[in-house]
Amino acid sequence: MKYIESKKNEEIKQFNKLNKTKEIKKTGTYLIEGFHLVREADQNDQKIVTILATENHQDDQLIKKYYDQAIIISDDIAEQLSETKTPQGIFAVIEVPERTEVTQLTGQWVFLANVQDPGNVGTIIRTADAAGYDGVITSLDTADIYQPKVQRSMQGSQFHLPIYRMDLTKALELAKKSQLTVYGSEVNAEAVPYNTLEKVENFALIMGNEAHGLNQATLSATDKNIYIPIKGKAESLNVAVAAGVLMYGLQSF
Amino acid sequence: MKYIESKKNEEIKQFNKLNKTKEIKKTGTYLIEGFHLVREADQNDQKIVTILATENHQDDQLIKKYYDQAIIISDDIAEQLSETKTPQGIFAVIEVPERTEVTQLTGQWVFLANVQDPGNVGTIIRTADAAGYDGVITSLDTADIYQPKVQRSMQGSQFHLPIYRMDLTKALELAKKSQLTVYGSEVNAEAVPYNTLEKVENFALIMGNEAHGLNQATLSATDKNIYIPIKGKAESLNVAVAAGVLMYGLQSF
């Protein structure tokens, strides 16, 4: 265990940089915050490289367990590292897990195609977890899941279900090869309301960009394009809400 | 039409304060941003007190229409007023509409009971609009809908459906008097999965606080408490996602 009080400490500066995707990629580590997430990381056998806690937590069991990796930090540093207004004063730097290549998909999957808002990405993954989906694939142009803002809305779901990042075209090929029914989400003349579908057991649901939806190439690679009926005057739904309605709506109970 | 270039101008300082609920209440006005919202306000007969636009928009039809209420502002001021990183350079100050007292509810209603996050409040109202609900009632301790952050996620739905703010107990009495079936959302032994309900035409769905859900008094005033089955390892759903799943799930198609 060691103590750092200055915000200008080089190690602290380095941890601060972990809010950037570039730095996460470079170091192969990311930062999580709060008791809930740090405990979940521990319980789910994540590799904890460093644990950071304010002085009032130094006798906590979790800090004792990771004694050699623990750094006690000042409240100032905790505030600087935190994404929230009232930090709990506990953080961990953990290794981005290595994903073996996936060669087969079964069950219910969500594909994120160029979803840009970190809050939306995190919320969709959390919903996929809650709804018992088998996994999530994010396209290379979707917001990186190890960013703090995604972490915050994902609430630890990265520890509960597999999340792969790959080229969307490859993901679609994999879905076909795996005989998943592929649903695109779109409003057009050939799309059908999601609630009129015959339910299937193995499928992939693709959610698109907040402003532009799915591109033509993706839509034409699907088995069926579906939409949520808009009955009022709103122009559209928030993508995370739409994903939730569809994820639950496509399941048989 | 007049021109203001300085951020320190007293009128501009005043508009800047409209991001605070206190000031919105005091002045009876609120600030909206972007072409979409300003156009919607105009089309939906809202009382536009002032329209603010950067110089490049000064010949736009909308600015001409409200010539006497228009102020041309510098890019600096637009940036300061804006909630977004890339402001469109158009804003309007509009009157908070007077709501006549409501004495009867029919159809499908959403009640927000102490929902705190402005993004959640806005998103739920937008979803209620999309799903064709008849209106929304927000409790006195729910985030004020005229805050800029609610505006941003609500995307103009305040112009499409009635939104009342009142004491939750009164709202529940009103629902009973109006013979709506009242659904609380909760996970407990007596609650039932939302998808097993017999669908009714007239109901109120109550969504609760992000961290604490609904309190006991509210839950015991409902006709039925319902929940969304959690099949994975997530502890809960985001409240706006849960509201979306329930709002669509409770409707007959």
User: Which residues of B lie closer than 8 Å to A, measured between beta carbons?
Assistant: 119, 123, 126-133, 153, 155-157, 159-161, 193, 195-196, 228-238, 240-245, 248-249, 253
**Cα separation of A43 and A25, whole Å?**
24
Spatial distance between the Cα atoms of A131 and B221, rounded to a whole number of angstroms: 29
Cβ burial B75-91 (10 Å sphere, 16+ → b, else e): eebbbebbeeeebbbbb
Residue B228 CA to residue B249 CA, distance in Å, equals 10
* pLDDT one digit per residue (tens) for chain A, 253 residues: 999 999 999 999 999 999 999 999 999 999 999 999 999 999 999 999 999 999 999 899 999 999 999 999 999 999 999 988 889 999 999 999 988 889 999 999 999 999 999 999 999 999 999 999 999 999 999 999 999 999 999 999 999 999 999 999 999 999 999 999 999 998 666 789 999 999 999 999 999 999 999 999 999 999 999 999 999 999 999 999 999 999 999 997 6
Instruction: Inform me whether the pLDDT recorded for B194 exceeds 80.
Output: yes
Name all domains of chain B by residue range, CATH numbers in brackets. 2-95 (3.30.1330.30), 108-249 (3.40.1280.10)
- How near does any CA of chain A get to the CA of B120, in Å? 10
Residues of A with CB under 8 A from a CB of B: 119, 123, 126-133, 153, 155-157, 159-161, 193, 195-196, 228-238, 240-245, 248-249, 253
Dihedrals φ, ψ of B184, to 5°? Answer: -95, 155
Interface contact B240-A238, CB threshold 8 A? yes
The pLDDT score that the predictor gives to residue B184 is 96
Q: What is the pLDDT of residue B190?
A: 77
User: How big is chain A by its Cα radius of gyration, in Å?
Assistant: 20
Find the DSSP H helices in chain B. Answer: 10-16, 21-27, 35-43, 61-65, 75-81, 118-130, 148-154, 168-177, 216-220, 239-249
Considering chain B, what is the average pLDDT of its residues? 94
ipTM surpasses 0.85: yes
Q: Is the pLDDT of residue B253 over 70?
A: no
Nearest to A175 by CA among A142, A141, A208, A137: A137
CA–CA gap between residue B173 and residue B176 (Å, rounded): 5
- CA–CA distance, A106 with A126 (Å, rounded to integer): 19
User: pLDDT-based confidence at B99, cuts 50/70/90?
Assistant: confident
Handedness of CA A24, A30, A33, A37 (dihedral sign): positive
